Structure 1
Amino acid sequence: MLNIRHLTKKFGSLVAVDNLNLAVAKGETVVIMGPSGCGKSTTIRTINRLIEPDAGSVLVDGVEMTQLDDTGLRHMRKRIGYVFQQFNLINRLSAVENVMLGLVMGGQSKEAAYDKAVAALTKVGMEQFREHKPGQLSGGQQQRVGIARALAFEPELMLWDEPTASLDPMLVREVLVVMEELAKYRAATMLVVTHEIAFALHVADRIVLMEKGTIVEAGVPSQVFVNPVSHVGCQYKELIEYQLNTSARTLSGKRSA
């Protein structure tokens, strides 16, 4: 479904992505993780050319994204859902109008766009808030509207760029639940950039770890987080063990009390 070959992106003297290769199979959920600044978001943004790569190729279902003209790129972007860190909703529009907007601009009738928008909002549990404007919604609800906006195009590939990064920790879970449901039903191939270890353990078919613009380790969660071979993998293993030990001590303390 997705095949990235020798991808390179520089910002001045900084090499953000360094000769990266990655293939994602149809229906697969792949999670990209790594320290901040390792090139995760740059990698995912080059796929639909929100950022133009300097070298390499990006094939989506056999189509070379880097060679497309503006018309071809607009067509392919309809097949690729993208969920941003920021919600990017239009405040004067209702939830359903925000989801409809791209469909109408793409040439669909308002009636057809409305039906698809409601169906997408239903998938993320937001149908009862369809007439609410962003200011009337929590951060988690706004991000779910953003997810519905991407789903309305019925994409074959879903790209998630740290979708919980802008949320209060109390609101993260409601977005992760939606992502888990979508991954379970495999309506689309999913490539997810996230720091959420629990989500990666529960949902990912494969974990890809990056450091300094390149992939340093990849494999199933049980391999990468239990028997890592990279420095980054070892750091994640230590973090998971620390979190488990902290939880165990907390539960033990509560029982003692």
Structure 2
Amino acid sequence: MLSIQNLYKQFGSLVAVNNLELSVAPGETVVIMGPSGCGKSTTIRMINRLIEPDQGAVMFDNVDITRLDDAGLRTMRKRIGYVFQQFNLISRLSAIENVMLGLVMGGQSKEEAYGKALAALGKVGMEQAIDQKPGQLSGGQQQRVGIARALAFEPELMLWDEPTASLDPMLVREVLIVMEELAKYRAATMLVVTHEIAFALHVADRIVLMEKGAVVETGLPSQVFVEPASRVGRQYKELIEYQLSTSASTLAGKRIA
């Protein structure tokens, strides 16, 4: 479905993405992880050209997105949902109006757009808040509206750019639950940039680890996090082991007390 070939991006003297190669199969949930600044978000933003690549190809159903004109790109983006780090909701519009907006601008009638927006909000558990404006919603609820906005187009591919990065830790779980449900039912192929290890372990069909703009390891979560072949993979393994040992020590301490 998606094939990224020799993707390259440089900002001044910084090489952000260095001849990256990656393929994603239909229905697959692929999670991209790595240290901050490794090129994860730049990569995912280049797929639908929120950032223009310097060179390389992004093939989606045998169409090179990097070669599309403006009209072709607008059409392609209707097939590719994108969930941002920031919620990017319009404050004066209600939840359902925010979800409807792109559909109406794309030529759908208000009645058809309303029905699709309502269904999308139902998928993320926000059907009871359709008339509320962003300022009346928590951060987690706003992000769920942002997810519904992407789902309303019924995309074949969903791109997630650290969707929990702007959330208070107490609100992260509600967004991850929505993402897990979507991954479980495989309504769309998913490419997820995240730092959430538990989500990656639970949901990913494949983990892709990046460092310095390149893929350094890819494989099943059970492989990458148990028998890593890269330095980044070993760091994640150590972090997981530390978190597990800390949790075990805390539980033991509570039993003694």
C-alpha separation in 1, matches of 2:78 and 2:63: 13
How many aligned positions are there?
Answer: 257
Q: Match for 2:44: what amino acid? A: I
Structure-2 separation of matches of 1:177 and 1:222: 21
Aligned-pair identity in percent equals 83
Per-residue CA distance 1:144-183 (angstroms, 9 max, x = gap): 0000000000000000000000000000000000000000
Work out the CA distance in 2 between the residues paired with 1:68 and 1:205: 30
Q: How does 1:50-199 map to 2 (within 5 A)?
A: 50-199=50-199
Q: Which runs of 4+ in 1 moved over 6 A?
A: none
SS in 2 for 1:226: coil
Q: What SS does the corresponding residue of 2:88 show, helix, strand or coil?
A: coil
Offset at residue 61 of structure 1 (A): 1.3
**TM-score normalised by the chain length of structure 1:** 1.00
Deviation at 1:227, TM superposition (A): 0.2
Provide, for residues 28-80 of structure 1, a one-character-per-residue CA deviation record: whole Å limited to 9, x for no partner.
00000000000000000000000000011001111110110000000000000
Q: Structure 2: any 5+ residue segments left out of the alignment? A: none
Which residue identity is paired with 1:202?
H
Secondary structure of 1:121's partner? helix
Please state if 1:5 is matched with 2:5. yes
TM-score, normalisation: structure 2: 1.00
CA distance in 2, matches of 1:19, 1:105: 36
> Which residue does the alignment assign to 1:243?
243
| Cα displacement (A) at 1:143 | 0.1
Q: Please list every run of 5 or more consecutive structure 1 residues that lacks an aligned counterpart in the other structure.
A: none
How far off its partner does 1:255 sit? 0.6
Alpha-carbon RMSD across the aligned residues, in angstroms, is 0.3
Look up the SS of the partner of 1:176 in the other structure: helix
